[in-house]
Amino acid sequence: MGREPSRTGKPIHLCTALLIFLLPLACSLGQPVGTKMVDITGQEARAHLASARELLARGEYGRALAENEKVLSLAGRDIPRDEALFYIGLIQVHPANPARDYGKALAVFRRLLKDYPGSALAEQAKTLTGLLQENEKLDRTVERLDRTVERLNTVIDELKKVDIGVEQRKRERGK
């Protein structure tokens, strides 16, 4: 009775609270940056792929792209990376996607063909690659024609000025 309470328990509680707080950080520090999560059965990858397809069908291109990227980040035996790459390419060329990028799509389809030449999607990727390359050629042709039209319009404007000058001289001589 008259004794002061001992304070030996407070530092232990503090240390325990710190350990609980820092445990998740310590666990993540043991894993090197850039490592892939392991999905041995491919079940998680297929779930992300199904989600990506649904998002693409709803027009949620950014989220669909993120789901396909998750598939690529998984390591394991049965990961459908070829399918994820194919859908990434489709998202990049989709006409309704405001962030479409034909160059990125072309790079993704080429990667699919290089890394997975035996894929069931390889033929479709070849076709889309050919179309994108043809589109690039047509874009360059259109740009060249636009520059030619600009030069022709400049020449026409100059010829109009000359014609106006000639007409003015004819009027002055006729007076």
Residue 64's domain spans which residues?
37-174
CA-CA distance, 110 to 107, in Å (whole number)?
A: 5
Domain assignment present for residue 14? The answer is no
Q: DSSP for 51-89?
A: HHHHHHHTT-HHHHHHHHHHHHHEESTT--HHHHHHHHH
What pLDDT is recorded for position 38? 83
In a domain, 138, yes or no: yes
Let me know if residue 32 belongs to a domain: no
For the chain, helix, strand, coil in percent to 5 are: 75, 0, 25
pTM of the predicted model as reported, rounded to 2 decimal places: 0.68
Residues 6+ apart with CB under 8 A from 111: 85
53 in any annotated domain: yes
Number of domains in the chain: 1
User: What's the pLDDT score for residue 41?
Assistant: 81
Domain of 158: which CATH number? 1.25.40.10
> 3-class SS at 103?
helix
**What tens-digit pLDDT sequence spans the chain (175 residues)?**
556 555 555 556 555 655 565 555 444 444 444 555 788 788 999 999 999 999 999 999 999 999 999 999 998 878 999 999 999 999 999 999 999 999 999 999 999 999 999 999 999 999 999 999 999 999 999 999 999 999 999 999 999 999 999 999 989 888 6
Alpha-carbon span 79 to 69, nearest angstrom: 12
For the purposes of burial, counting CB atoms within 10 Å of the CB of 143, is it exposed (0-12), middle (13-18) or buried (19 or more)?
exposed
